[in-house]
Amino acid sequence: MSDTPPESPDSPGFDEMTRDIAEVPAVEVIVTVAVNLMSAAAVKLGLTEEGDKYKDLDEARKLVHALAGLLDASATEISSFHAAPLRDGLKSLQLAFREASIVPDEPGQGPGEKYTGPIYG
């Protein structure tokens, strides 16, 4: 753990951080969060160079489900230019989850399928 206390609203850096965040368009924030969720899910699915070292399907399920919810909720807020590749990545993660599961979920019951519909693979 770090000995540095978190920024508080009274600290000098907090105003600068708030100003920086205020300048970022909402679409960029949503896409950045989605990409971070995708990256974390890929790690937990064992899809990175480290392979199974960090594989944890329970954690991957949570991340994929959160990503699907975010994309579903923001579909009308972000353009198809941004949404299409994110949806493709989500589907790839859902298929990878299905393949990695010893006992695959029934179609429509996998992570995020509540939002995307059944994934077959």
CA–CA dist 43, 50 (Å, integer): 8
pTM of the model: 0.83
Average of pLDDT values for 87-115?
95
Per-residue confidence (pLDDT) for residue 20, from 0 to 100 = 82
Give the per-residue pLDDT at 16: 80
What's the number of CA atoms in the CB half-sphere (13 Å) around residue 44?
Answer: 19
- For residue 11, the model assigns a pLDDT of 64
Distance CA 6, CA 17 (A): 12
Per-residue pLDDT tens digits for 45-96: 999 998 899 999 999 999 999 999 999 999 999 999 999 999 999 999 999 9
- Say if CB 47 and CB 60 are below 8 A apart: no
Distance, in Å, from the CA atom of 90 to the CA atom of 112, rounded to the nearest integer, reads 9
Indicate the pLDDT class of residue 6, thresholds 50, 70 and 90.
low
Q: Mean of the pLDDT values across residues 40-49?
A: 96
Average pLDDT (37-44) is 98
The span from the CA of 90 to the CA of 117, in Å, is: 12
pLDDT attached to residue 121: 72
pLDDT given for residue 72 in this prediction: 96
Q: Shortest CA distance to 115 belongs to which of 58, 54, 57, 73?
A: 73
Mean pLDDT of 8-18: 71
Burial group, residue 85, by CB count within 10 angstroms (0-12, 13-18, 19+): middle
